[in-house]
Structure 1
Amino acid sequence: MPAIRHIVFDIGKVLIHYDPNLPYSKIIPDEAERRWFLANVCTSAWNLEQDRGRSWIDAEAELLARFPDREAHIRAFRQNWRAMVPYAYQDSVEVLNGLIDAGHDVTMLTNFAADTFREAREIYPFLNRPRGVTVSGEIGLIKPDIEIYQRHTEDFGLEPSATLFIDDVLENVEGAKAAGWNAVQFVGAEQLKCDLASLGVTH
C-alpha cells in the first residue's frame, strides 16, 4: 500500500456534534410525540435531500402538503439548526490541526446542505483550515455514492490509493473503499490516533 499522502475528514459527528433532538426537546417537550415527529415528519431521509441540494423552501413545502397542521414544527427545523450543532469535538479538532500543522494534505468531504455549511464555517473557524472541502449540497452528490468520492479525487488531485478517509458512518467508509481509498470508521479521537499511527501517519 502506498504511503498515505492525503487525509480526508468527514465533519458531522467527527469534528462537530449534530443532534436534532437538542432544539426539539424544547419545541416538542413530550418525548413520545417528539420521537414520532422526527421519525415520521422531519426525518433523516428528508434532511438528506437538503444535503443532496434540495432547497429548504422545497423541503418544507413537501412536508407542509402532507402535514399542514405541523407547520410551526416543520419550519422550526431550519430555524433552529444552529442549536443542533452546539459544540465541536475538541480532541478531534486537535488531531485535525495537528495533521495540518505537521504538513499533511488535509481536505474534507461532507454530506451537508450548502447554506448550513456556510453557517458552520462561521461558527467553527477551524473548518476553514484544510486545503478545501467537497460539500454534497453544492454539487448534488451524496455519500456513499461513489461519484462524490471520484469528484473529490478529481477536484483536489488525490491519488486514491494514497488517500485516507475518516467518517463515522460505516456505509460512507465502504463507499470510500469502493472508490479505491483507504478508510476508517470514526468512533473517537483516541481510536483515530491509533488508526493514523498504524498507517504511519504522524501528527
Structure 2
Amino acid sequence: MINTIIFDLGAVLIDWNPDYMYKTIFDDEQEMRDFLNNITTSDWNEEQDAGRTLQEGTDLLVSQHPEHEANIRAFYGRWVEMLGDAFQGTVEIFKELKASGKYKIYALTNWSAETFPLAQERFDFLNWFDGIVVSGAEKMRKPTPAFYHILLDRYDVKAEESLFIDDNYRNILAAEKLGINSIYFTSPEQLKEELEKRKIL
C-alpha cells in the first residue's frame, strides 16, 4: 500500500531551462548550443547540485575557458532568469494528492543549496511538502543510493510503501534498485493516467 509520494522538482513541477537566459546573450542558436553543451555542461552544473559552491564552480570553469568568462559568470549571476513557470498540470495533481489526506508528500531534488531559496521565494507550493531533501545541502545527489536513503531514514519512509516521480530515467532506475516504486515522468497528463491506473488518484 502506497502511503508516501516523492516528487522530483525540476522538469516535473518547475520549468528550469538555461536557454531562457542565454537567448538574451547569444544571437546565434548554434553558438548558444555549443556553449551550453561544451562549456556550462550538465556534468559541471551537477557538481554544484552535489554541494560545490557556485563560486568554486564558476572560478574553475573560468580558469579552463577564460575567453568565455562573461558568459560563464552569467550562469549563476543571472540564474533566476532561467526559472520558468510551474507546470500547472503537475501542481494540480500535487494539490489533489495533498487534499486527499492519504499521503505524506516529499521532494527529493538535485539542486544547488545556494539557488534553491530563489525557487522557494517564487513557488508557494514548495511549502506544501512534508519535507524537502536538497542535494546541495546534503553534499550528494541522485542517483547515489545514499541520497535516497537520507529521505527514507529522515522521514521514516518504507521504500515499498513509497512512490517516486522523476523525469530522469537514470534516477528512476536507482530508486527501483532500492525497492522504491517509481513513475518515469513525461507529462502531467501521463502522470495523472499512471496515478489513476494505480488507484492513487
Instruction: Please indicate the TM-score interval, normalised by the length of the shorter structure.
Output: over 0.9
Partner of 1:160: 159
Partner of 1:65: 63
Q: Secondary structure at the match of 1:114?
A: coil
CA contact 1:9–1:108 (8 Å) conserved in 2 = yes
Partner of 1:182: 181
Which of 36, 39, 44 in structure 1 is aligned with 2:37? 39
- With structure 1 as the length reference, what TM-score do the two structures score? 0.96
Matched residues in 2 for 1:112 and 1:29: separation? 29
- With structure 2 as the length reference, what TM-score do the two structures score? 0.97
Matched residues in 2 for 1:28 and 1:48: separation? 23
CA contact 1:113–1:135 (8 Å) conserved in 2 = yes
Partner of 2:80: 82
Paired positions, count = 200
Deviations 1:140-186 (A, max 9, x none): 11111111111110011101101000000111111111111000101
Superposed displacement of residue 45, structure 1: 0.7
1:167 partner amino acid: D
CA contact 2:50–2:139 (8 Å) conserved in 1 = yes
Deviations 1:105-127 (A, max 9, x none): 10000000011111101010111
1:7 partner amino acid: I
Matched residues in 1 for 2:70 and 2:21: separation? 13
Matched residues in 2 for 1:18 and 1:140: separation? 21
Matched residues in 2 for 1:88 and 1:177: separation? 27
Query: Which runs of structure 2 are paired with 1:54-133 in the superposition (5 Å)?
Result: 54-103=52-101, 104-133=103-132
Matched residues in 1 for 2:41 and 2:158: separation? 36
Superposed displacement of residue 192, structure 1: 0.9
2:178 partner amino acid: A
Structure 1 residue runs of 5 or longer lacking an equivalent are none
Superposed displacement of residue 84, structure 1: 1.1
Superposed displacement of residue 93, structure 1: 0.3
Higher strand share: 2
Matched residues in 2 for 1:199 and 1:146: separation? 25
Percent sequence identity over aligned pairs? 38
Superposed displacement of residue 8, structure 1: 0.2
Matched residues in 1 for 2:139 and 2:67: separation? 31
